[in-house]
């Protein structure tokens, strides 16, 4: 539990520093920090996922699901690092370089996340635990439809209709919002499943995971919207959503490890 | 404090509720009993192996195979 407390404190500290720096610093220093923070936060997420993954002994479907989530965070870490190196070390204008090699890793991370979340979703469906009531699923479906309509209307249609963007760029511009919709939807369902368990340690990994992906995807969608309209630049507060998302995913990993370890200790008594 | 009149249901509840919470412990015992065609109040000793196996499958999702097996073996010993 000590590790989790430290990571919560680190999360608060990073977000505070993030806010202060983005509001007070400008120029190259802002560029360096805005490239360093995502790499740091995605590293923390990778570390948390690694601990969760190592907590499982046999290679059952749960371990594979957490392995996929680990691969997703590692790809994000690689993407964030490559992005920062290209911008800071090689002075590449990343606002006008799209797609870059970093995008390949970000795209890869979505596939890994999606597969990992699907495995957890299917695992729950077959677990015998209550699935919840139909009214809540109807409400979730309605929210999902509204969410999709908003993203399609404000983001996907303008991208598809744009005649000046290359097909390759269009593919990447469309890939992210669609990936976000898929990730957020699966996370919302997992969050609903786990909310039936009330409070307690068993609920924390999935709750933090779902919240992490939620913040991450909201920032991603806002970035896609502002990026498409050329109104995004280094030091935008949208970044805080990504940082918080990464850190919550890391915290989810630590909670999962804590859960496995605590049951092991209890069972050996 | 007793939650169930049935001794087996109570003991299973005592084993799994510290792990998955009181709410879900009740929900999953009810659901697994239903899938076996019994109720929480009619669990007999002969139902324990099937119940422990079904609960084990559910717990694997959160705890992994080893831990789920350990919990299931506690139930099996009832």
The yes/no answer to whether this complex scores an ipTM above 0.95 is no
pLDDT in tens, B7-47: 999 999 999 998 888 888 888 899 899 989 999 999 999 99
Flag if B28 and A57 touch (Cβ within 8 Å). Answer: no
**What is the domain partition of chain B in residue ranges?**
7-76
- Sequence spans of domains, chain A: 2-268
pLDDT of residue B27: 86
Residues of chain A contacting residue B60, judged by C-beta atoms under 8 Å apart: 60, 62, 123, 127
Q: Given this model, what pLDDT does residue B1 score?
A: 60
- The predicted-structure confidence for A118-157, as pLDDT tens digits, reads as follows 999 999 998 888 888 888 889 989 999 999 999 999 989 9
- Inter-chain touch A198–B54, beta carbons under 8 Å: no
| Closest CA–CA distance from residue B5 to any residue of chain A (Å) | 22
**CB-CB: which of A58, A124, A263 is closest to B61?**
A124
Using a CB-CB distance cutoff of 8 angstroms, which residues of chain B are in contact with residue A58? 64-66
Tell me whether residues B64 and A127 touch, CB distance under 8 A: no
Q: Dig out the tokens for A238 from the structure.
A: 């949208």
pLDDT tens for each residue of B59-74: 999 999 999 999 999 9
Q: How far apart are the first and last CA of chain B?
A: 19
pLDDT for A74 equals 98
In this prediction, residue A231 carries a pLDDT of: 80
Interchain pair A259, B62: CB under 8 A: yes
The alpha-carbon gap from A64 to the nearest alpha carbon of chain B, in Å, equals 11
Positions in chain A short of pLDDT 50: none
Q: Do residue B64 and residue A200 have CB atoms under 8 angstroms apart?
A: no
Contact A128 B55 (CB under 8 A): yes
Q: What is the pLDDT of residue B20?
A: 87
Residues of A in contact with B62 (CB under 8 A): 62, 202, 205, 259
- Chain A residues touching B27 at Cβ < 8 A: 129-130, 196
The residues, ordered by sequence, that sit 6+ positions from A198 with a Cβ below 8 Å of its Cβ are: B21, B22, B23, B24
Q: Which residues contact A96 (CB under 8 A, 6 or more apart)?
A: none
Residue A131 confidence (pLDDT): 85
pLDDT in tens, A218-236: 999 898 888 778 787 777 8
Task: Report the pLDDT value the prediction gives residue B19, as an integer from 0 to 100.
Answer: 87
Domain A2-268 top-level CATH class: mainly alpha
Set of chain B residues whose Cβ sits within 8 Å of the Cβ of A124: 61
């Amino acid at each position: 539990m000590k590790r989790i407390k430290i990571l919560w404190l680190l999360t608060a500290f990073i977000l505070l520093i993030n806010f202060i720096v983005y509001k007070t610093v400008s120029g190259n220093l802002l560029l360096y920090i805005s490239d360093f923070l995502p790499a740091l936060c995605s590293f923390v997420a990778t570390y948390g996922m690694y601990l969760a993954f190592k907590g499982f002994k046999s290679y059952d479907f749960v371990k594979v699901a957490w392995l996929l989530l680990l691969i997703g965070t590692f790809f994000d870490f690689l993407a964030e690092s490559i992005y920062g190196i290209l911008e800071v070390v090689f002075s590449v204008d990343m606002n006008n370089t799209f797609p870059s090699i970093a995008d390949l890793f970000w795209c890869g991370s979505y596939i890994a996340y999606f597969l990992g979340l699907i495995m957890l979703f299917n695992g729950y469906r077959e677990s015998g635990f209550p699935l919840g009531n139909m009214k809540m699923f109807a409400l979730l479906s309605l929210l999902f439809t509204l969410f999709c309509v908003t993203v399609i209307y404000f983001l996907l249609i303008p991208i598809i209709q744009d005649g000046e963007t290359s097909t390759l760029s269009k593919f990447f511009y469309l890939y992210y919002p669609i990936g976000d919709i898929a990730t957020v939807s699966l996370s919302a369902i997992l969050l609903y499943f786990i909310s039936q368990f009330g409070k307690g340690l068993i609920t924390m990994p999935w709750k933090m995971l779902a919240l992490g992906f939620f913040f991450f995807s909201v920032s991603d969608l806002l970035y896609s919207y502002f990026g498409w309209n050329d109104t995004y630049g280094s030091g935008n507060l949208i970044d805080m959503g990504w940082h918080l998302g990464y850190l919550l995913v890391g915290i989810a990993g630590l909670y999962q490890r804590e859960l496995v370890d605590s049951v092991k200790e209890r069972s050996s008594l | 404090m007793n939650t169930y009149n049935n001794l087996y249901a109570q003991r299973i509840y005592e084993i799994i509720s510290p792990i998955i919470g009181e709410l879900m412990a009740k929900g999953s015992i009810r659901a697994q009993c239903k899938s076996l065609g019994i109720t929480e109040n009619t669990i007999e000793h002969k139902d324990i192996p099937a119940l422990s196996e079904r609960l084990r499958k559910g717990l694997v999702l959160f705890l992994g195979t080893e831990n789920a097996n350990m919990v299931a073996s506690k139930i099996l010993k009832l």
